[in-house]
Structures are given as C-alpha cells and as structure tokens.
Amino acid sequence: MKPPSIRLRLLAASLVILPLFLGLTAWALDRAFGNYQRQAQQESMRLQQLLLAKAADWVGSEWRFDALDESRLSLLGSGLYAYVVSTQGDILWHSPSAGLIGDLPDPLAAAAQMVQSPDLYGTGIGDSRFEECVLDTDYFCLSTGVAWGSAGPESIFLIVESQARAIAARSAYRSYLLWLCLGAAVLLLLAQSLIVRWGLVPLRRIAIAIKRLERGKSDRLDGPYPDELVPLTDNINILLASEKRRRERVRNTMDRLTHVLKTPLMLIRNSRDEEHEFRELVQDQVTRMLGIVEGELAKARLDGAAADILGKPVPVQPVLQRIVDAYGRLPRLGAQFPGREGPDIDTSAVAADAVFHGEERDLQDLFGSVLENSLKYCRSQIAVGAHLTHEADEHWLELTVGDDGDGIPPGYEQAILQRGARADTTNIGQGLGLSIVVEIVSAYGGSLQVDRSDLGGALFVIKLPGAPPAVS
Amino acid sequence: MRFLIVEDHIGMADQLSRGFSDRGYSTKLVSNGEEGLFEAQEIDYTLAVVDLGLPGMSGLELIKKLRKAGNQLPIIVLTARNDVETIVQAMEAGADDYLKKPVYFEELFAHIEAVLRRVLGDPKLDEPVLEYGELSLDTRKRVVTLARERVELTRAEYEILEHLWRNAGRVQSKKTIADSYQRDPGADPKANSVEGLVGRIKRKIDPDKNLQPIETVRGRGYLFREAH
C-alpha cells in the first residue's frame, strides 16, 4: 500500500491537533471570563450594600431607609432586591422592588424561606458571604452581618440580584469565542498549508533534479540544498558516481575481455591440426582464458562495494575468526601432511576494536585468499593479526598473515601478486587468490606488502583505510 | 572405492564420471539434491562430490540434511562462485573440502586423497601397491599378482578386493561390500552375490589356502587381515 503524502500526513495531524488545542484554549478563556464576571458581580453588589447601609437608620424598634440611591431597589420586579434579616432569620425590612418577584404569588414568603438557609442568616458580624441562590429563578446573594452601634440590633444586610444579565453576557462571550476559534482554525490551516508547501520546496527541487537525471540532462544532484537534505543528496551523488564508475568499468572490462580473449582464440583457430601440439596449445590458451575470465569476474564483483561505503563499519575479529574456523578444517594437500590435524592458526593478535570501513564480503575475500595461500605453504603454524594504526595523520587497519613455510623466494615478491603467477609449481591451483587480494586492496586505496614472518615463512601485510571515505 | 557425484550440468557430470572411471573407480551420478540425499543415506559411498548450485534442493541443504541425520560421508563441494562466504558456508554446513570450478582432475584427486587421509585416517590410500605376503595389488594398473603371476579378476571382484584390502583390519559388512562395487551387468544374480564374489576372490588369490588373507567373520561380514 502506498504511504500517504507528507502534505496529507501534516493535514491529518493538524485536523486532530488543532481542535484539541483550540478547544482547550476556548475552555480556559471561558473559565477566566466566568471568574471575572463573578468577581465583578460581587464588587457591584458590595457597592449596593454600602449604599443601603448609608441610607439605613434604626429608629425606635424598626429599620428606616429614607432615600435609596439605587432606583432599581424602588422599582417592582427590577431584579435587584434588598433585605434586612434578623440573626434568627426573620425579614425585618425589604426594598420596595421585592414586592414583586417574577411570577411568585407571595414574594415575601419565598424570600423568607430563602433566608432560612444557614449560608445566609448564619453570617457573623463583619463577615460577608457571596452565594448563588434561587427565588423564581437563579440569583446572586451577598449577605453581610452588621451591628448598628449601641442602639440598634445585630442584623444581616442581604442584596439579591438576578443572574439574567450575567448569563446573557456569558452567552454573547461564548458565541464570540466560537467564531474567533473557527476563524483562527481556518487561518492556521491555511498558514500551515503554505508553510508545508514552502518547506517541501527543496524536496520538489530534488524530484525535478532526479527527473533531469532520468532524462540524461544531468549526471548529479546540483545544490545548494538545506542542511537537513545534504546527507541525502551527497549519498545519492556518491551512488551516482559509483554507478557511473561501474558502468565505465563494465565497458572497460568488455573491451579488455574482447581484446585479450581474441588473441588466444585466433591462435587456436590458426594453428595446424597436429594432435599433440594442438592439444597442448588448446590447453595453454584455455588455461590463460580461464585465468582472464576469473580475474575480470573478481574485479567486476568489486564494483558493488561502493554502495556499502554508506554502511556501518564491520568488526574485523568475528569475520576473521569465522574464516579461520572454516578454513582450519580443510585438509592439507600432499603426502607430506599425513596427520589429521591442520596447522595451528593463532588469532591472538587480532584486536577486538579493529573495524573495516567497507563491505564485509570484501574483507572475507581479502583475508580468505591470503589465509588460503598461507594454509597451502605453511608447515604447521600461521599467525593472524589485525589492529588499527595511525600514520601520517591517517588511520589504517593493518591485517597481517604470517606462516612458517619456506617464504617467498627472493625476487618473486611482486610476481606472486600478479594474476596467474605463482612462485612454485608443486601445488595445484590457478594462482588467482593473491591477484584478487591486490584488486580489492587497490579498490579501497590500501596497500599489500610481502615480507618475512617471525615464524620463518612469508608475511603478508595489508593496510586499508581506517576511516570511512569522505562524502563529497 | 565408490564415489557419489551430485552434479546437474550434464557435460560436467559426464566429464567427472569419465575421470573417475579412467582411474578405475566406480561412480554413481545423480543430477539433483533429492536424489543425492537418498543415495548418500542408502548406500555406503567412500566420498561424495557435490555441486553447490543444484536445482531444487541446493548442495548446501543436502550437506546440512546429511550431517543433521548423523551421516559422516566425506564431502567435497564444487562451486562456480569465487567468494569466501560460499566456502565458509559450505564448511560450516559440514563439507570437508571445496574446489572452485573449473575443476582439474589432478586437483580433484589431490583433494580427494587429502580428505580421505584426514577423514578416514587411512595411510594406505597413498600406497599405489598393496602387499600381503606374495600377494600384491597395484591400484594404478588395477592388477593383482600372486608370486608375480597375474591373477585374473572381474571388475566387481577387483573392486571388492581393493575395498577389503584398503580397510584391512576392519570388518566390512556385506552391505558395505555390496555398496563398494558396481555389479557386472548381465551376470547371474546368484553368482553376483557378495558371498559368491568373495568366495571366488578367495579361490583366485589363494588357491592353496596358504595365505588366507580374507577371513569370514560369522554374522558380521569379511575381514582382510593386516599384513605383518
């Protein structure tokens, strides 16, 4: 199944996250507005209470209020009512407005019942309580306990105001908030869409550059690209360069094969059919051709190495140990080795931290071919080593394989590294192993040296770059 | 000695078979892994030469299955691939040796000798001429002589004698002996039985019963006595 596009993914994520984010914001704003409204209401009712106290007077045995500054307290059913309640919960005075409260048939009886609530008449002297209460509908109630000097009784001044205005303001605010959030959501989606479009421009440029590659109008991805995409474009360019080199090598291989195989084939075709000589000639030329084909195949296989320069470094020890274990079980050719036991292969000098920056198969072929050679020529001992070195500001991986054989005869050190060449003719084989080693070492920019081992025989020293190739 | 060759390429298989036959060895040729597995499990071969790139069951699978079943038949693998990983995999699967194609016969036989020497620990393998008193067997010429007089043996008789001789000191069961030679086509089945053949060999190589190199071990098979 095709994965969804990046734009679709971001849009889907926004559709999930945006409502959550905006919903949470709206809820917080609504709650803050509610708290503000309640505080404002409390302040307004406290002012009414002070005005009521200013107008109040205890005359004889009753409360008198000469002039009320707030006109709503004088207007019947205005929604703002004032009461003076005794500490026993009896209404001692009420504002003229409290004579009519909504549809209540007996507003005073309803108010008397309401003030029975301990939250209201239980208010101590100097204490204030702000509550929600119910008469015909929902109201805010502010009660304050007062002591009227030495002459008056302890009483409770109670202001009751309808919630209708606050509810209407809250509804209007919520409606405004809803439209604000919807507008913000649309704007955010639009902005995000534009940001995504702008953010994906470099990827679109890469896609266009790849199309140009496909059409053959370019042979690499030319920048500049943002830092985040540089590793991708660099690696694509490395692969492209490697692919180009591979194509060139294949073409060169084909040219070389055509050229070098034609000569022996012509020799065979032009020779006279004299049985013995002809047979010898065919044998020689076929052997030569096989050597050429094997060598070219080994070279061609190396072309795959470029892809792996992007991979992780290969730990050397397990690779070498696996080959030593497998090759150590091989029987030894020749009657001079009658025993069942193979040679002793010492791997104690293989450092655990040695790593190879390249393809594991190349390391296997490299080491396997050298070990195979030493197994062929040693008497009973082989010593294998691997460690990282630092020379001339460069890191190297050094592999060594030494044996206790007769060693390389003087003057043959370079010759044995060439394809098909061998220092001895007593062992049967194609003489290809060490030339393959040379091909691999050259491909990685390393070196191969032949020396004398401490064990007395030949010592092969392979140096390979100890750091990954630079990305350029 | 009898060899099993598991090779699907007809030309290569014929060449291998001819090479063995030219050196006087009998072979069984099969062209796929399944048949190879059956043969290796049912018949007592001296050694198997197995191509890794077989159709169906690969050479690698064949070796793994044989070893899993506890079969210790010496195996040399042939591979067209040049990489070390293939060789390591073959050795890990239980092969005893490997050879890269193209195969040269001298090279193949050098490897066969080395494997048999290592696996069987048989020092007689390299001795071209085996001797027991006045009796001698030249493995290169495939000739048996008694007091320098040539003893005429059929192909099956010669193969049984060489097999018993090479395994001197070790009792060989009738089945092992039967697996070690190729039956003469058209011969009377009764006359071609192991008992009949061994009896005829005994009469031919020791008509006066002075040497008695072959001993019948009741219920177990036959034993070629070790030369003193």
With a pLDDT cut of 70, the percent of chain A lying above it is 86
**Is B127 in the A-facing interface, judged by CB distances under 8 Å?**
no
**Euclidean distance between the first and the last CA atom of chain A, given in angstroms as a whole number:** 35
**Is B126 in the A-facing interface, judged by CB distances under 8 Å?**
yes
Q: What is the DSSP letter of A53?
A: H
**Is A327 in the B-facing interface, judged by CB distances under 8 Å?**
yes
CA angle A206, A209, A211 (to 5 degrees): 110
Q: Which residues, 6+ apart, have CB-to-CB distance to A84 below 8 Å?
A: A56, A63, A91, A92, A93, A94, A155, A156, A157, A158
Does the pLDDT of residue A8 top 70, yes or no?
A: yes
Q: Which of A1-10, B69-78, B94-103, B160-169 has the lowest mean pLDDT?
A: A1-10
pLDDT tens column, A270-282 = 766 666 777 777 7
Return the residue in B84, B85, B96 with the most chain A beta carbons within 10 A, the one to mutate for interface testing: B84
Local structure of B89: helix, strand or coil: helix
Please indicate whether, in this complex, the C-beta atoms of B96 and A329 are within 8 angstroms of each other: yes
Sheet holding A381-391, edge to edge: A344-350, A381-391, A394-403, A458-465, A447-452
- Amino acid identity for residue B41 in this structure: Q
Return the residue in A333, A362, A365, A376 with the most chain B beta carbons within 10 A, the one to mutate for interface testing: A333
Q: What is the mean pLDDT of chain B?
A: 85
- Which chain B residues are within 8 Å of A335, Cβ to Cβ? 126
C-beta of residue B90 within 8 angstroms of C-beta of residue B69: no
Q: Output the CA–CA distances (angstroms, integers) from residue A47 to A70, A138, B43, in the order listed.
A: 10, 21, 115
**Is B88 in the A-facing interface, judged by CB distances under 8 Å?**
yes
Does the pLDDT of residue A401 top 90, yes or no?
A: yes
Task: Name the residue among A294, A332, A340 with its Cβ closest to that of B82.
Answer: A294
C-beta of residue A7 within 8 angstroms of C-beta of residue A196: yes
How close is the nearest chain B Cα to the Cα of A200, in Å? 44
**Is B117 in the A-facing interface, judged by CB distances under 8 Å?**
yes
Q: How far apart are CA A432 and CA A419, in angstroms?
A: 5
**Is A335 in the B-facing interface, judged by CB distances under 8 Å?**
yes
Does the pLDDT of residue A471 top 50, yes or no?
A: no
Q: How far apart are CA A263 and CA B76, in angstroms?
A: 35
**Is B102 in the A-facing interface, judged by CB distances under 8 Å?**
yes
pLDDT at A415: 65
Evaluate the CA torsion angle A48, A49, A51, A57 in order and state its sign.
positive
Q: Report the b/e string of B135-172 with b at 16+ CB within 10 A.
A: bbbebeeeebbbeeeebebbebbbbbbbbbbbbbeeeb
CB pairs under 8 A between A and B: 67
Does the pLDDT of residue B191 top 70, yes or no?
A: no
How close is the nearest chain A Cα to the Cα of B188, in Å? 42
Q: How far apart are CA A341 and CA A141, in angstroms?
A: 106
- Which chain B residues are within 8 Å of A292, Cβ to Cβ? none
Task: Name the residue among A297, A325, A332 with its Cβ closest to that of B114.
Answer: A332
Q: Which of A10-24, A255-269, A401-415, B144-158 has the lowest mean pLDDT?
A: A255-269
pLDDT tens column, A109-152 = 888 888 877 666 566 788 888 988 888 889 999 988 888 776 67
Beta bridge partners of A385: A349, A400
- Which chain A residues are within 8 Å of B112, Cβ to Cβ? none
Please indicate whether, in this complex, the C-beta atoms of A323 and B88 are within 8 angstroms of each other: yes
Q: Which residues, 6+ apart, have CB-to-CB distance to B215 below 8 Å?
A: B222, B223, B224, B225
Q: At what angle do helices B84-93 and B59-68 cross, to 10 degrees?
A: 20
Q: How far apart are CA A223 and CA A209, in angstroms?
A: 9
pLDDT tens column, A294-349 = 777 666 666 555 444 555 689 999 999 999 999 988 887 766 666 666 788 999 99
Distance of CA A374 to the CA centre of its chain: 48
Q: How far apart are CA B7 and CA B32, in angstroms?
A: 7
Q: How far apart are CA A139 and CA A144, in angstroms?
A: 16
Helix (H), strand (E) at residue A368: helix A360-377
Tell me if the bond preceding A224 is cis, omega within 30° of 0: yes
- Joined together, the tokens standing for residue A15 give 């559709």
* Closest residue, chain B, to A319 (C-alpha): B85
Does the pLDDT of residue A392 top 80, yes or no?
A: no
Q: How far apart are CA A8 and CA A21, in angstroms?
A: 20
**Is A332 in the B-facing interface, judged by CB distances under 8 Å?**
yes
DSSP A117-141: SHHHHTPPBT-EEEEEEESSSEEEE
β-pairing, B143-146 vs A56-59, is unpaired
pLDDT tens column, A32-52 = 999 999 999 999 999 999 888
- Listed in order, strand segments (DSSP E) in B114-197 are 129-132, 135-138, 143-146, 149-151
- Joined together, the tokens standing for residue A438 give 């040379």
How close is the nearest chain A Cα to the Cα of B118, in Å? 5
Q: At what angle do helices A230-270 and A275-302 cross, to 10 degrees?
A: 180
pLDDT at A320: 94
